[in-house]
Amino acid sequence: MIQIAIMGLGTVGTGVARVVAENSRQIERKLGEPLQVKTILVRHFKDGPYRQLMTDDFKKIEEDDSIRVVVETIGGVGAAYEYTKRALMAGKHVVTANKQLVAEKGCELLELAKKKNVNYLFEASVGGGIPVLHPLTQCMAANRIDEVYGILNGTTNYILTRMVRTGAFFADALREAQAKGYAEADPTADIEGIDAGRKTCILADLAFGHQVDPDKVPMEGISKLSLRDVKLAERAGYRIKLLGRAVRLPGGGRTAYVAPHLIPEDNPIAGVEDVFNAVVIRGNATGDVMFYGKGAGEMPTASACVADVMEALQASPRREEIGWSPDTDGFEDPAELHTRYYFRIEGSLTDAAMSFGQVEVLSEDGETAFLTDRISGLEVQQQAQNLKILACMRVLP
């Protein structure tokens, strides 16, 4: 019998306990022996099917040699960070879905796991139930990864879908998302791009092999997005999506950011709707490879966590290819990237042409909406400074 522990019994922690119980036969067949949740760390005891497994004393996990894997679903970087370090120091594998912890402390925790000859795995931290990190680090290991981008937050994608399908204003679509349980009471991390930004950092860390400081990654959300821009984009053959992008630059540097983008409707990612996520990995040998599915939720995320538990137990003795350098040199401002830009301005086509030269006009009814030629973000800042800008977004190449 293989014993594991869970830290935190929220949505994901409960899902992990359910997956272990409901899929016990398949798990046992693949591991060669049964897998059992022995202990669950909680802050407050509550009645339910797992009451007899609960403890509020981490030492009961830390000092129990029969517990081989700890699943961290606490969230944040406070107690989760402390307990993860202590579990690794105790020689236990740790599995997590905690994107903030991995983005900020992952490099350190991976190094500690290496020293203790155990695994620190976090497949569920980026795509929930979508397998992304494993293919990135193993299946595409023969590639130079040039770019990773995707729809990394289901809440914002649901809101944007409702704005397109029903013509709902942002505030109304957000309230609908909250009513359906897709958005938290405080949706800031989702709608301001913070959640997607943390996931983008993890993808960049693994794709390029160097630490990306989340504080240096610009994160723009959709809270200021106008329904008018959504309609104008759709009329012109584009869809607006919140994308996280990590890009290898021509000179060898790298960059990452999160922002709304206009995406051509013939791009497969433009058709990803509702709470679904999608990640595109561009390898120099494979070209574009897309991963699609539910990026969050109790059971999809728990599925990825339990798969990591199984992999940690089967790895001999650990996954060597998971990790990256703590060196942050080479990270550049995403304003260095060249792409087309969408503008909606209070002004005429003449104003647009005076700033950007030849442009593609999308609308001229009182306000002017247009697309520029390919240009860097730095040039945009310089050339648009005399315009009365109502909206500005990148266009996905």
Q: What CATH number is associated with residue 54?
A: 3.40.50.720
The CATH number of the domain where 358 resides is what? 3.30.70
% of the chain surpassing 70 pLDDT: 98
Query: Is 321 a domain residue?
Result: no
Query: Is 155 a domain residue?
Result: yes
pLDDT digits (tens, 9 = 90+) for 230-276: 999 999 999 999 999 999 998 889 999 999 999 999 999 999 999 99
Are 153 and 225 members of one domain? yes
d(CA 352, CA 350) in angstroms, rounded, equals: 5
Are 60 and 150 members of one domain? no
Are 101 and 169 members of one domain? no
β-bridge pairing 338-345 and 254-264: unpaired
Query: Is 239 a domain residue?
Result: yes
Are 210 and 87 members of one domain? no
| pLDDT beyond 90 at 376 | yes
Given this model, what pLDDT does residue 381 score? 94
Are 380 and 251 members of one domain? no
pLDDT digits (tens, 9 = 90+) for 23-68: 999 999 999 999 999 999 999 998 899 999 999 999 999 999 999 9
CA triplet 144, 148, 152: central angle to 5 degrees?
Answer: 155
Out of 281, 314, 347, a domain closes at 314
Provide the pLDDT confidence category of residue 297 given band limits of 50, 70 and 90: confident
Are 158 and 277 members of one domain? yes
Average pLDDT value for the chain: 94
Are 288 and 165 members of one domain? yes
Are 146 and 272 members of one domain? yes
Query: Is 322 a domain residue?
Result: no
Contact 219, 197 (CB under 8 A): yes
Q: Which DSSP string corresponds to 4-47?
A: EEEE--SHHHHHHHHHHHHTHHHHHHHHSS-EEEEEEE-SS---
The CATH number of the domain where 246 resides is what? 3.30.360.10
Query: Is 327 a domain residue?
Result: no
Are 169 and 244 members of one domain? yes
Q: What is the number of domains present in the chain? A: 3
Given this model, what pLDDT does residue 316 score? 65
| Cα radius of gyration (the chain) | 23
Positive or negative: CA dihedral 311, 313, 314, 315: positive
| Cβ neighbourhood burial of 74 (10 Å; 0-12, 13-18, 19+) | buried
Query: Is 262 a domain residue?
Result: yes
Are 173 and 41 members of one domain? no
d(CA 178, CA 341) in angstroms, rounded, equals: 31
**Global pTM?**
0.94
Out of 253, 280, 314, a domain closes at 314
Active site residue 199: yes
Looking at residue 358, its amino acid is Q
% of the chain surpassing 90 pLDDT: 89
Helix or strand run (H / E) with residue 80 = helix 79-89
Nearest Cα to Cα of residue 372 among 347, 346, 393: 393
pLDDT digits (tens, 9 = 90+) for 195-219: 999 999 999 999 999 999 999 999 9
| Cβ neighbourhood burial of 223 (10 Å; 0-12, 13-18, 19+) | middle
Are 277 and 208 members of one domain? yes
pLDDT digits (tens, 9 = 90+) for 81-107: 999 999 999 999 999 999 999 999 999
List the domain range (segments joined by +) for residue 225.
Answer: 133-294
> For the chain, what's the residue count?
397
Provide the pLDDT confidence category of residue 364 given band limits of 50, 70 and 90: confident
Query: Is 332 a domain residue?
Result: no
Given this model, what pLDDT does residue 201 score? 98
Quick check: helix, strand or coil at residue 291? strand
Nearest Cα to Cα of residue 169 among 122, 117, 231: 231
Tokens of 254: 């790298």
Query: Is 330 a domain residue?
Result: no
Count Cβ atoms below 10 Å from residue 36 Cβ, excluding itself: 16
Given this model, what pLDDT does residue 129 score? 87
Catalytic residue, candidates 92, 199, 241, 294 = 199
Are 149 and 281 members of one domain? yes
| Cβ neighbourhood burial of 161 (10 Å; 0-12, 13-18, 19+) | buried
